[in-house]
Chain A
Amino acid sequence: MIEIDALTKVYGQAQAPAVDEVSLRVPAGSVFGFLGPNGAGKTTTIKMLAGLLTPTSGEVRLGGFDVARQRPAAMAQFGAVLEGSRNVYWSLSAWQNLMYFGRLKGLRKARVAERARDLLTGLGLWDRRDDKVGGFSRGMQQKVAIAAALIADPPIVLLDEPTLGLDVEATRTVKNWITEQSRELGTTVLLTTHQLDVAQELCDRVAVMRRGRLVADLPTRELLAGFRERDRYEIRVEGTVPPGFEAVTREGVTTISVRVSDPGEVYEVVARLRAHGAVLESLTQVQPDLEDVFLALVNEPSHAA
């Protein structure tokens, strides 16, 4: 479990805090999406969580251990792939990297070797284990970084943009891996990404940051449900539509978007279309995806967690 209490960071003489009184609970075994636009304070929060940055105030506990006061125990709970960095040595082979980071985490040589074999096999890199990471593709390098983060089998893993720049196949492998880690092994995964489809697919719960503050922290389904536009419908018809409708026609099918103040008005709209000779194909209440929710949260000033 990750517990963050009233975490605040003010850099130097800055007027506004980069992170302002952020509190979070990430339940054990869940995949938690930590989202926000650039400059929202995600990276600062992550670095404080990882003990790489000293908070101005507040506390972070990993698996019950305080990162500031019980650092060795807290770090034993934790592995991370950080965005925008190599994470592993490109001059070393995949095998040498895993042996290095495993030993750095205090594992015995035999245990590291066993774990490295499992990870490299699982990520499809076993045949390339002795090749230098610098010669790998972006996707393979990312897999080695993930393997290094998981080498000591930590109960908490932070993945900062794990699928950024990966091709479809590598993205699929990483997503499957995240799901497997969480569902089958009970690993807590904290995921930050700008690929909101990935977050929607993987995350049990999502938190959104904006200007250093949390603006949402809810289970993904509840968050999406909260933004369901009960008053907006999409109607697909064949044929012409009466004037006054917001319509887009493509390959003979016209899609109309209507807003109603009362669901009963939908029947009236359909009746008008029918009277005009349009043939109804489908009628759908618009379901928002995480991208819609995210944009609504980061663009509107009034939303609170």
Chain B
Amino acid sequence: MTAARGFAAEVRKGLLNFAAGWREALIQMITFPLFYLLIVLFMGRGQLRADLLLPVLLGTVALTFIHEQVNRVFWSYLGDIQSGVLEQTYLTSLPSAALILGRQVAAAISALPTALAVLATGYTVITLQGGHLPVDAQVLVPLAAIVLGTCGLALILCGLTLVFKRIEIVTQLSVAVYAIAGGTLVPLAAMPDPVAFLSRLVVPIAPGIEAMRDILLGGHSLAALPTGWGLGWLLAQPLLITGAGVVLFNRLEHLARRRGTLGRY
């Protein structure tokens, strides 16, 4: 019960902080749709090509969640270490990994307005071009897999932050690598086999994005995904990554306690 209350408190705190920084959210609601349109224009060599609008839209929505879950959580975690507030959260009986997962839930919810702005932009442009935005509730499963897998990545980055502090370059690099290797812009099927294999294996968003493409672009059912490694891997991969994230975070936290870096900057 204590863990549940702590988790809920962490989610609520994250949302309060998100509301306090509403200007930043507003800016993101403008810049992310612009980023989406620019990517389509770039890939379409100056044209908003209909065949690119929907695939890139799916990738950009996924990127929105990764951005919030990794960047927001990393910076807020680093800020809490710097200000010493993080140490206060350690003076409780809660496992700190549970609190990071609370931050992740808050970050995923915080990503919704921006994701919706991107979706609205995509819907408008696709409709104006005479196309239509397919809707299928099955897509929520891969979206949830993307969010869960990114939780695992965030746990690892938070653990590294506890020990090494200034690792923003690792964070930025991981988001960039995952954005590319995750198949957000170019499908994994179009990549060299070894890269596609590794992406499906370790990149938290890769199976989710492939599944979203299969469902919304190919019209396939969740139980019969034609690309990638199927529904089983779609569900197992984020769970495995999050499990690995918890284990690694605990190890790094143990190291931070030994070195005395929980609150030192």
Contacts and interface: CB of A to CB of B under 8 A. Distances in A.
Interface in A240-292: none
Contacts, number: 102
Contact of A86 (B5, B17, B84, B91): B84
A160 to B, nearest CB: 11
Interface stretch (A46-54, A211-219, A223-231): A46-54
B176 interface: no
A79 interface: yes
B45 interface: no
A72 B90 CA distance: 10
A91 B20 contact: yes
A192 interface: no
30 contacts: A47-B263, A50-B87, A50-B90, A51-B90, A51-B91, A52-B87, A52-B260, A53-B257, A53-B258, A53-B260, A54-B258, A76-B93, A82-B84, A82-B88, A82-B263, A85-B87, A85-B263, A89-B85, A90-B83, A92-B13, A96-B16, A100-B13, A101-B88, A103-B5, A103-B6, A104-B6, A105-B92, A105-B93, A106-B5, A106-B92
A72 B88 contact: no
Nearest to A91: B20
B195 interface: no
Contacts of B5: 103-104, 106-108
Given A80-B91, A104-B92, A85 B85 contact: yes
Given A12-B259, A47-B260, A103-B9, A87 B90 contact: no
A106 B6 contact: yes
A82 B88 CA distance: 8
Interface in B84-100: 84-85, 87-94, 99
Contacts of B257: 51-54
Nearest to B6: A104
A44 B99 CA distance: 25
Interface in A83-115: 84-92, 96, 99-101, 103-108
Interface residues of A, number: 39
Interface in B1-43: 1-2, 5-6, 8-10, 12-13, 16-17, 20-21
A96 B14 CA distance: 12
Contact of B1 (A44, A75, A106, A132): A106
A100 B9 contact: yes
Contacts of A44: 260
For chain B, give the interface size range. Answer: 20 to 34
Interface residues of A, dominant DSSP = loop
Given A52-B90, A92-B17, A103 B83 contact: no
A39 to B, nearest CB: 14
Given A73-B93, A106-B94, 15 more contacts: A47-B260, A50-B90, A51-B90, A52-B90, A54-B254, A75-B91, A79-B91, A85-B84, A87-B84, A87-B85, A91-B20, A91-B21, A96-B16, A104-B89, A105-B2
Interface string B174-204: 0000000000000000000000000000000
A32 interface: no
A34 interface: no
Contacts of A11: 259-260
B83 A86 contact: yes
Given A84-B84, A89-B85, A91-B17, A50 B93 contact: no
Interface in A159-207: none
Given A85-B87, A91-B17, A100-B12, A52 B263 contact: yes
B167 to A, nearest CB: 20
A47 B87 CA distance: 9
A38 B84 CA distance: 19
Given A47-B260, A100-B9, A88 B93 contact: no
A33 B16 CA distance: 38
A148 interface: yes
- Most B CB contacts (10 A, CB to CB) among A47, A50, A92, A104 go to A104
